[in-house]
Amino acid sequence: MRLVRGTGKVYLVGAGPGDPGLLTIKAVNLLKAADCVIYDYLVNPEILEYAAPHAEKIYVGKKGGGHSWKQDDINRLMIAKANENRLVVRLKGGDPFIFGRGGEEALALVEAGIGWEVVPGVTAGSSVASYAGIPVTHRGVSSSVTFVTGHETSDKSFSKVQWEYLAKGVDTLVFFMGVAKLSEISQQLIQYGRDHATPVAVVRWGTYNEQEVLIGDLSNIAAQIERAQVKAPALIIVGEVVRLREKLNWFTPSIATALAA
């Protein structure tokens, strides 16, 4: 990979779901070359060790319930660092263009006339499910999968989630950022025709040694999550593929014991 010095440029880099072994080679090379790394809450700290000692590291994490950076401020920071003729890595959990607001950041860079590239990362939508022993597609069980946000912005006057389609038209549903609204998600799916006995998996800190998995169904998963006090970050997987975990659960975290239904 050839890097041109002397002009500022921002690389929107996906850090993957957490396991450093899932980081791409291109991401590692960029971290080693970066003058500045601007990183999020969901980036595993071990990944930052690839950055050069001289690199400036700036945390701009967003975490519900606490102080966090506003998106406009992050955009301005990227532009400012690039204008210092720096090679900037904007390091984001998962994939920048899958519920990572990478598109918004790219548009801000375009409008500012800053050079940029996107480096896709391994998305949590499939990798976290895999580490829980759940293939999101499986012959004879699931021929379709949809990624859905479980946290729409508060400025929307109505939901853009098409619940009737999701309930009846998709085999496997993967919800990002939805733990706090799991009761509502379950109720909407049942209301629009999904069987209340449809299995559900909630995977917290997927791909980390601290990974926890809770299994239930649409009728009881919200209550289980409340009793277990499961908090974000967690991924929600809805569909018959969840039943495959019983035979395909290959990942055994060395610290936490996976929760059982």
Angstrom distance (rounded) from CA 162 to CA 183: 17
Annotation marks residue 40 as catalytic: yes
Choice among 9, 78, 92, 177 that is catalytic? 177
Angstrom distance (rounded) from CA 241 to CA 22: 23
Angstrom distance (rounded) from CA 41 to CA 105: 17
CA 204 vs CA 77, 128, 252: distances in Å? 30, 9, 14
Choice among 40, 78, 81, 92 that is catalytic? 40
Annotation marks residue 247 as catalytic: no
Asked if residues 190 and 196 have their Cβ atoms less than 8 Å apart, the reply is yes
Dihedral of the alpha carbons of 49, 50, 55, 60, in degrees to the nearest 10: -70
Catalytic residues: 40, 62, 177
